[in-house]
Amino acid sequence: MDIIKNIVFWSQINTEQKLKVLSRPILNQKKTITKTVSQIINDVRILGDDALYKYTYKFDKINLKSIKVKFDHIANASTYINKNLKKSINIAKKNITLFHASQKNSPIKLNTQIGVTCEQLIRPIESVGIYIPGGSAPLISTVLMLAIPAYLSGCKKIVLCSPPNIDYAILYAAYICNVREIYQIGGAQAIAALAYGTKTIPKVNKIFGPGNMYVTEAKSQISNLLNNTSIDMLAGPSELMIIADEHANADFIASDLISQAEHGVDSQVFLVTSSIKLANNVLNSLKSQIHKISRITIVKKSLKNSFFIITKNLLEAVAISNMYAPEHLIIQTKKPRYLLQYIKNAGSIFLGLWSPESVGDYASGPNHVLPTYGYASSQSGLSVRDFQKYISVQELTLKGLLNISKTVKMLASAEKLDGHKYAVQSRIDYIKGKN
């Protein structure tokens, strides 16, 4: 059976076909999901902890004795972790911390004109919730990617929720990232608890983290409610596009395609190349490598959503990438930095033979929480700034107000907002009367 059936020559298909090739797979969401999640959110809002216990038993088949994880259990998690795993977690933490610490901005203070002082203050979001999905393996890297920038930004309260029973590696990663409040609650009910608060779980100002379609739907619904809780982004299935030339390593490309395809059946990967020979070599390598992967069934289904695109040249490949705006972009060409200058839309970019996307997922430094579904054309990956607020301050002297008053009154008159004009004029009249 062919691993990739979707091989297209870009110059031989029309505009409609091109758009179809670059379209994302439709998420397999039933209409009942919206209604189900709405019911869960409403139950948590009204019943609080009782709803959390109920849904944990219903979905996770666990009778919780306590929602909150005891501090001693968190602090002692390190004793249950393999020393080599601990070492890897600590190296990843160091790199991620170093990169994110460089993102810190300084407050701004300047005079835009004589007597007009303007400032920009930076304040951390007071309380944040980070959601770490459960599943077949602990997502240690997601703890690091969320907790580190939250701590660096100065958030006073960082609350972590994850389905029971939480793996010791998750607890260890959270502990070394200064997270002390951890609750063993998952799914839409966890998002609702963070949004509304219960007797046990505190309400937070912003919720971060990926999840399944129920978690994503819960975040979507929460973001539309007027309850002072916002979300980071609505992350969809994983995406990878690889731009390659005849100098690329076919085995490396095949392994990169598999690494992202194994995320889930809705993942989507592309090879965009000007070399037909390379495309055939990658295809042969895929057929060989795929049998070494434990998640082979998922990979095969994901590859049905995926394409090999043959282009006339590399600049056409770049144009296709900018149109698609991938979450992850690998450029494996002889001179990858030459093409970098032409990339406009991508969540995170990996250059050259020795930069597999896997490194970015875990340990190199930049965040792996990235915009999907084409939002890389207008949004950025997660950073320290997402955990902060920027507040402007303005202070005018008497002379400053006099100098700018005509400008403001003229603009207010043009917009027919007499109250705005009068707020300035009343002060001018007062100054003139005083003199």
Tell me the pLDDT tens digit for each residue of 149-158: 999 999 999 9
How much is the average pLDDT of 234-251?
95
Query: 273-313: per-residue pLDDT in tens?
Result: 999 999 999 999 999 999 999 999 999 999 988 999 999 99
Q: Where are the alpha helices (DSSP H) in 48-167?
A: 49-60, 71-75, 83-101, 140-153
Whole-number percent of the chain with pLDDT over 70: 97
| 212 marked as binding residue | yes
pLDDT of the residue at 31: 72
Mean pLDDT, the chain, integer:
95
Does position 143 have pLDDT exceeding 80, yes or no? yes
| 12 marked as binding residue | no
Catalytic: 126?
Answer: no
**Confidence bin at 137 (pLDDT 50/70/90):** confident
Q: What is the spatial distance between Cα 221 and Cα 42, in angstroms, rounded to a whole number?
A: 11
Does position 413 have pLDDT exceeding 60, yes or no? yes
Q: What are the sequence ranges of the domains in the chain?
A: 32-233, 236-378, 398-434
User: What long-range pairs does 405-410 form, CB within 8 A, spacing at least 24?
Assistant: none
| 260 marked as binding residue | yes
Query: 94-119: per-residue pLDDT in tens?
Result: 999 999 999 999 999 999 999 999 99
The active-site residue, picked from 262, 327, 357, 368, is 327
* Beta carbons of 409 and 425 less than 8 angstroms apart: yes
What's the CATH code, domain 236-378? 3.40.50.1980
Query: 9-63: per-residue pLDDT in tens?
Result: 999 999 999 999 999 886 555 678 999 999 999 999 999 999 999 999 999 999 9
First to last CA, the chain: 91
Domain 32-233 and domain 236-378, same fold? Reply is: yes
pTM for the full predicted model: 0.93
Instruction: Give the pairing of strands 116-124 and 181-183.
Output: unpaired
Whole-number percent of the chain with pLDDT over 90: 91
Does position 1 have pLDDT exceeding 50, yes or no? no
How much is the average pLDDT of 427-434?
91
| 420 marked as binding residue | yes
Does position 136 have pLDDT exceeding 80, yes or no? no
| 100 marked as binding residue | no
The active-site residue, picked from 328, 357, 368, 395, is 328
Q: CA 128, 134, 140: angle at the middle one, nearest 5?
A: 70
Q: Where are the alpha helices (DSSP H) in 160-310?
A: 168-176, 187-196, 213-223, 250-261, 276-289, 296-303
pLDDT of the residue at 27: 59
CATH class of 32-233: alpha beta
Query: 159-214: per-residue pLDDT in tens?
Result: 999 999 999 999 999 999 999 999 999 999 999 999 999 999 999 999 999 998 89
| 368 marked as binding residue | no
Three-state SS at 10: helix
pLDDT of the residue at 28: 54
| 249 marked as binding residue | no
Catalytic: 327?
Answer: yes
| 189 marked as binding residue | yes
